[in-house]
Amino acid sequence: MKKDKKRSLLKIDELSEALRSAFSKPFTVKYPYAPSPAPEGFRGKPEFDEEKCMGCGACSEVCPGGAISIIDEGDTRKIELLYGTCTFCGLCEECCPIEEKGIRLTTEFKMVFSDKDEARTSIEKPLVRCERCGEPITTVDHLKWMIDRLGPLAFSNATLVSVIYDLTLGKIPIKEPEAKEIDRADVIGILCPKCRRKAAVIDHGYRVKY
């Protein structure tokens, strides 16, 4: 009984904490009315960088949840990120081949949308298609980036050579696909790997002249 009394007296501990709480400010952050910034390095809403992103689609390859998708339509490539599916793991930022990162996780955590369709972000880039079959190759920015990285080696690839040619003339290397038989002239042109292989091995009958 005496022990019980002593133990129940210890309730003073709880009482003191309760009173301390009653006379101090609430621990709650009045969030929508008062700001509650996320710390630096918080993995929040991912956003594309219009300038730096080149539209290569590496992020969509690594995304574990499949939140990032590539939509090739006409002359544009649209890379779309669905916030509803995104798990904010940051793998897209980690695997982005550009050093300044074309996709970045911001510290923004507010993601309130009144419509389901608003819960997405996307970026559009001009797309280069195969001159013959119309298969998407990659974006212009990606080709530029490859040329930059390859340096003189870029001249070993005929597609890149044609791109460099167009770019130096100040043209956008996008041509309307023309469905016709691949012939000798197509060796210098913007071709998808499949068509390039065809163009390279095709026997035009010139060889007999040598």
Q: Restricting to residues 146-165, which ones interact with another protein according to CB under 8 A?
A: none
Give the per-residue SS3 of 162-203.
HHHHHHHCCCCCCCCCCCCCCCHHHHCCCCCHHHHHHHHHCC
- Verify binding: residue 35, another protein, rule CB under 8 A: no
Which residue number, 106 or 122, has a Cβ lying nearer to another protein?
Answer: 106
CB of 106 vs another protein, minimal distance in Å: 11
- Verify binding: residue 4, another protein, rule CB under 8 A: yes
- Verify binding: residue 8, another protein, rule CB under 8 A: yes
From 65, 84, 134, 193, residue interacting with another protein (rule: CB under 8 A): 65
Give the per-residue SS3 of 100-161.
CCCEEECCCCCCCCCCHHHCEEEEEEEEEECCCCCCEEEEHHHHHHHHHHHHHHHHHCHHHH
Which residue number, 28 or 156, has a Cβ lying nearer to another protein?
Answer: 28
What gap in Å lies between CA 12 and CA 2, rounded to an integer? 17
Q: Restricting to residues 15-34, which ones interact with another protein according to CB under 8 A?
A: 15, 17-19, 21-22, 24, 26-28, 30
Q: Smallest Cα–Cα separation from 148: which of 135, 139, 160, 134? A: 160
Residues that bind another protein (CB under 8 A): 4, 7-8, 10-11, 13-15, 17-19, 21-22, 24, 26-28, 30, 38-43, 62-65, 87-91, 94, 105
